[in-house]
């Protein structure tokens, strides 16, 4: 039971981190002409598809060469690790990190 509660806590924290990361990069996606991509991330999170949300967000940021603040990258990494998402999704964003 304790493992379940701890895992649930990690997922709740991962969702919170993912929402914060999305807020930090939302303007970049909107300026690139893809505001619906931001809403898709939030919709996936609300439908308990946070892993998919993280994967799609990272893919969109990469595909559209959007700048990624260091804090957003760190939050994506923490979320991904907590949800056991393939690290390649966020690691390929490293060249896009802005200080």
Encode pLDDT of 60-97 as tens digits.
999 999 999 999 999 999 999 999 999 999 999 999 99
Task: Tell me how far apart the alpha carbons of residues 12 and 15 are, in angstroms, rounded to a whole number.
Answer: 5
pTM of the model: 0.90
Structural domains in the chain (count)? 1
**pLDDT tens track for 68-77:** 999 999 999 9
Tokens of 41: 């991330």
> From CA 41, how far away is CA 36, in angstroms rounded?
9
Range of the domain at 40: 17-98
Q: Does 39 map to a domain?
A: yes
Decide if 33 is inside a domain: yes
Residue 3, in any domain of the structure = no
Residue 8 domain-assigned? no
Q: Do the domain assignments include residue 1?
A: no
């Amino acid at each position: 039971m304790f493992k379940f509660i701890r895992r649930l806590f990690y997922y709740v924290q991962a969702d919170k981190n993912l929402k914060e990361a999305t807020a930090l990069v939302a303007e970049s996606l909107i300026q690139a002409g893809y505001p619906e991509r931001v809403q898709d991330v939030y919709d996936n999170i609300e439908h308990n598809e946070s892993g998919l949300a993280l994967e799609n967000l990272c893919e969109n940021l990469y595909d559209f060469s959007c700048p990624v603040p260091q804090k957003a990258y760190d939050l994506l990494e923490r979320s991904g690790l907590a949800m056991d998402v393939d690290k390649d999704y966020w690691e390929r964003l490293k060249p896009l990190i802005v200080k």
